[in-house]
Amino acid sequence: MQLKNKEHYGVDKAVSEEVEALRHSDSLCYNCARFKPGKPDQCPAAEDFFKACKKWNLAVAVCMCPSDMFVLAEKNFHAEVDSNNVFGLGVGQG
């Protein structure tokens, strides 16, 4: 595995570029219609997961989700978010 250092949310982090690419394209959260960061109807599991990632400065792809919670989205979350950081998460800005 090849790692590089990258600043993400103001913290220097070790990153596997191969896994990072998959996190954006293949994570179940990013492909779920219930993934709505910062919105009142955000998936509660995703909200708790995001809080833990933020607390510990992690970025993780979700590969399992209870089937009664997952709703396949028409488009991947990252395909919907523009470079203006519409959700205030730093998405699209590195």
Hey, where are the domains in the chain?
23-80
Q: Please give, one letter per residue, the 3-state secondary structure of 57-80.
A: CCCCCCCCCCCCCCCECCCCHHHH
Give the count of beta carbons closer than 10 Å to the beta carbon of residue 77. Answer: 20
In a structure prediction context, what are the per-residue pLDDT tens digits for the chain, which is 94 residues long?
Answer: 889 998 887 889 999 888 888 888 888 999 999 999 889 999 999 999 989 988 998 988 899 999 999 999 988 887 766 443 444 444 443 3
What tokens appear for 9 in the block? 């949310």
